[in-house]
């Protein structure tokens, strides 16, 4: 009821066309240059965003589904407003659009086979920002798909430097062993399919490190759902 009243008093408006009820309406999204179905490793065409079998050497994720390009001014503005200015309602639209992409690109049958995660923040960074933006997105997708969201399975055990400012080797060293699985959650991983939710990816190093940790604990498959990428 509070949400309904809020939409009546101060309705959402599309950042692109100014139409009410959405921060990004489906019509404007459809007119943007969104991501084609590609293998995220080699960027070649791929069915359902699957990573090519030949590209799986030293790569631990199986699929990376990306909604749009970060270079799109509307997309980047929406992400920045949510991430740094607390416009949390923005994530409702993105969550629904990513859910639809998941249904379109994954043979989805039993919710018990899946678990939703998001990249955890370093403790002191989470205190500074007050909230984990990817967690809000994951909550929306969990509600839309009826798939369980695990808030405590992954933890970040040390601070890392900003990836975009490092060389490839420095990125690998920066993230190595920075994520761990809580001991009391290890038994919940075996043969499960994990959907990991995040807003933006650029280097792919975080994707691979989290996927590596999950695969070493016998996860069956790791799928990433991403709002935008370079």
The pLDDT confidence band at residue 164, using thresholds 50, 70 and 90, is low
Residue 48 pLDDT: 96
Say whether pLDDT at 225 is over 60: yes
What does the block give as tokens for 85?
Answer: 């200015």
- Range name among 59-63, 121-125, 147-151, 189-193 with the lowest pLDDT average: 121-125
Contact (Cβ atoms closer than 8 angstroms) between residue 72 and residue 94:
no
Domains of the chain from N-terminus onward:
1-31 (no CATH), 35-229 (3.40.50)
Contact (Cβ atoms closer than 8 angstroms) between residue 35 and residue 66:
yes
Q: Strand, helix or coil at 114?
A: strand
Query: In sequence order, what are the beta bridge partners of 154?
Result: 181
Among 5, 230, 220, CA closest to 113:
220
pTM: 0.88
**Dihedral over Cα of 230, 210, 61, 146: its sign:** negative
Question: Of how many residues is the chain composed?
Answer: 230
Report, as an integer, the average pLDDT of 67-75: 94
């Amino acid at each position: 009821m509070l949400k309904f009243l809020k939409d009546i008093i101060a309705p959402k408006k599309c950042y692109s066309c100014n139409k009410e009820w959405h921060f990004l309406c489906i019509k404007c999204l459809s007119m943007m240059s969104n991501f084609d179905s590609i293998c995220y490793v080699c960027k070649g065409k791929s069915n359902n965003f699957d990573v090519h079998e030949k590209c799986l050497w030293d790569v631990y994720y199986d699929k990376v589904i990306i909604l749009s390009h970060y270079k799109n001014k509307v997309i980047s503005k929406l992400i920045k407003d949510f991430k740094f200015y607390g416009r949390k309602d923005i994530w409702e639209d993105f969550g629904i659009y990513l859910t639809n992409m998941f249904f379109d690109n994954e043979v989805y049958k039993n919710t018990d086979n899946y678990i939703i995660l998001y990249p955890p923040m370093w403790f002191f960074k989470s205190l500074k920002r007050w909230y984990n933006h990817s967690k809000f997105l994951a909550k929306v997708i969990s509600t839309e798909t009826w798939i369980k969201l695990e808030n405590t399975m992954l933890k970040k055990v040390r601070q890392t430097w900003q990836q975009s400012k490092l060389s490839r080797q420095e990125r690998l060293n920066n993230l190595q062993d920075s994520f761990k699985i809580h001991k009391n959650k290890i038994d919940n991983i075996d043969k499960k399919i994990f959907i990991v939710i995040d807003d933006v990816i650029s280097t792919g190093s975080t994707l691979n490190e989290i996927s590596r940790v999950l695969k070493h604990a016998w996860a069956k498959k790791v799928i990433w759902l991403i709002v935008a990428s370079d």
